Amino acid sequence: MRVIAGSARRIQLRSLDGMDTRPTTDRIKETLFNMLAPYLYDCVFLDLFAGSGGIGIEALSRGAMEAVFVEKNPKAMQCVRDNLSRTHLERRGMTMSMDVMTALYKLEGEKQFDYIFMDPPYRQELEHKVLSYLSGSELLAEDGVIIIEAAKDTEFDYVEEMGFSVIKNKIYKTNKHVFIEPSGRKGIC
């Protein structure tokens, strides 16, 4: 796993051995960031269920002003911190070693995010829980976008009831990225 582009281009990132995390492959990460590239400069990025931090670090490398990494696994969070140091991006990265819902409560009123990315464990409906919280939150900026990495068969037919719209689905072999925004806006992706 490596940083694809930007200031930390080609730097290899550490990841945890075993099945504790599921790093996004370089190919899928490159596809995702090719879609986001025009909008990343000076944005504020939230990486939920951060694992080794590869997604948030890619955003920082490509010009994001700040990224917040949320990961409750202490070994994974140490990996995020090591990767931030390795890429010399630690000044623009904030780490929160706690569960996602606690982090969201703590961030409320403190920050607003242009992008909220989440890659929760598949098929545990954690994305539903996070979206439910975000539907009544001020964490997503007015023009913000939520991006969820999920198993290919995960349904998102409930998001309209929460005040969101799916603006794009990018489907891969076994998983997909779902782009969501508050209803009534025109998508940027």
pTM score of the predicted model: 0.90
Q: Which residue segment(s) compose the domain that 109 sits in? A: 32-182
CATH code of the domain covering residue 54:
3.40.50.150
Q: Phi first, then psi: what are they for 52, rounded to 5°?
A: -90, -5
Domain membership flag for residue 122: yes
Model confidence pLDDT, tens digit, residues 172-189: 998 999 999 998 655 554
The residue-averaged pLDDT of 30-39 equals 88
Number of domains in the chain: 1
Is 52 part of any domain?
yes
In a domain, 12, yes or no: no
Q: Report if residue 2 sits inside a domain.
A: no
Distance in angstroms (rounded) separating the CA atoms of residues 155 and 176? 11
Residue 122 neighbours by CB under 8 Å, 6+ apart: 22, 150, 151, 154, 175
pLDDT digits (tens, 9 = 90+) for 153-177: 999 999 999 999 999 999 999 899 9
